Amino acid sequence: GAVVSQHPSWVICKSGTSVKIECRSLDFQATTMFWYRQFPKQSLMLMATSNEGSKATYEQGVEKDKFLINHASLTLSTLTVTSAHPEDSSFYICSASDRDAESYNEQFFGPGTRLTVL
Amino acid sequence: SQQGEEDPQALSIQEGENATMNCSYKTSINNLQWYRQNSGRGLVHLILIRSNEREKHSGRLRVTLDTSKKSSSLLITASRAADTASYFCAPDETDKLIFGTGTRLQVFP
């Protein structure tokens, strides 16, 4: 149980285009989803926290207009990188947790999406 | 926000040896979690230890927590080549995990 999927697993796009990444919890209701980015050989940096049905809370330094997050249902959150540039190339990882569950502290991670902006 | 700081940054050992990784953090926590990441993949949750616990076991994993020193350790016993990965600690203060830079473990067969 507690499986989180991401789609696509990798994407290559031209500079200036927008890219949408989906994060789905397959077998549980994710009241909260988190979005991280990770540069090579570095740690995961939390970008934002989203609760189902409400606006995402962004970490300091993360542009909310550039990284649009939607969490419209208990099983789906999307991250849209708008007007992507080469410096946005990174590994984006989502995670999900169920605050109503006994294991609410645990986050279940997706496999990640590798974004390359040319 | 706070960050777990892992030590060492990299560790190379032979199969069968034990691997110990340490983590330090800065403020009070509700719990501390350890995760594993294979190269280019997502994270796998290994173990969660609550602030009122001092030690926890899961298979070949042993985690300790010392809240007075704000530190934790992860011990992998009888390591295997398949244990090769990066290991991250993540102190949980307000249901938000802030990951450290991780320990890159290489286990040679």
- Please give the span between the terminal C-alpha atoms of chain A, in angstroms, as a whole number: 37
Listed residue (A49, A48, A46, A115) closest to A82, CA to CA: A115
Q: What is the dihedral of CA B23, B27, B32, B34, to 10 degrees?
A: -30
Which tokens hold the place of B76? 């992998």
Note the maximum CA span of chain B: 40
DSSP A56: P
Q: Per the CB < 8 Å rule, is B42 touching A44?
A: no
d(CA B25, CA A41): 21
Q: How distant is the Cα of A34 from the closest Cα of chain B, in angstroms?
A: 9
Q: How distant is the Cα of A33 from the closest Cα of chain B, in angstroms?
A: 11
Residue in B48, B96, B102 closest to A46 by CB: B96
**pLDDT at residue A99 is higher than 90:** no
pLDDT tens for B28-57 read 888 899 999 998 788 898 999 999 999 999
Residues near B80 by beta carbon (within 8 Å), at least 6 away in sequence: B15, B107
Task: Summarize the confidence of residues B11-39 as an average pLDDT.
Answer: 92
d(CA B65, CA A64): 36
Q: For strand B61-66 and strand B71-76, is the pairing parallel, antiparallel, or unpaired?
A: antiparallel
pLDDT tens for B87-107 read 999 988 776 788 888 999 999
Select the residue from B96, B103, B106 to test the A interface by mutation, using most A Cβ atoms within 10 A: B96
Burial class (CB in 10 A: 0-12, 13-18, 19+), A52: middle
Q: What percent of chain B lies above the pLDDT cut of 70?
A: 96
Confidence tier at A43 by pLDDT (50, 70, 90) = confident
pLDDT at A42: 84
**pLDDT at residue A11 is higher than 70:** yes
Listed residue (A99, A59, A95) closest to A77, CA to CA: A95
pLDDT at A101: 60
Task: Summarize the confidence of residues A55-63 as an average pLDDT.
Answer: 92
Listed residue (B24, B12, B13, B15) closest to B64, CA to CA: B24
User: Which residues of chain A does B102 touch, with a Cβ-Cβ cutoff of 8 Å?
Assistant: 43
Burial profile A68-98: b = 16 or more Cβ within 10 angstroms, e = fewer: bbebeebbbbbbebeebeeebbbbbbbbbbb
Beta strands in chain A (DSSP E): 4-7, 10-13, 19-25, 32-38, 44-51, 57-58, 67-73, 76-81, 90-97, 108-109, 113-117
pLDDT at A29: 87
Q: How distant is the Cα of A99 from the closest Cα of chain B, in angstroms?
A: 9
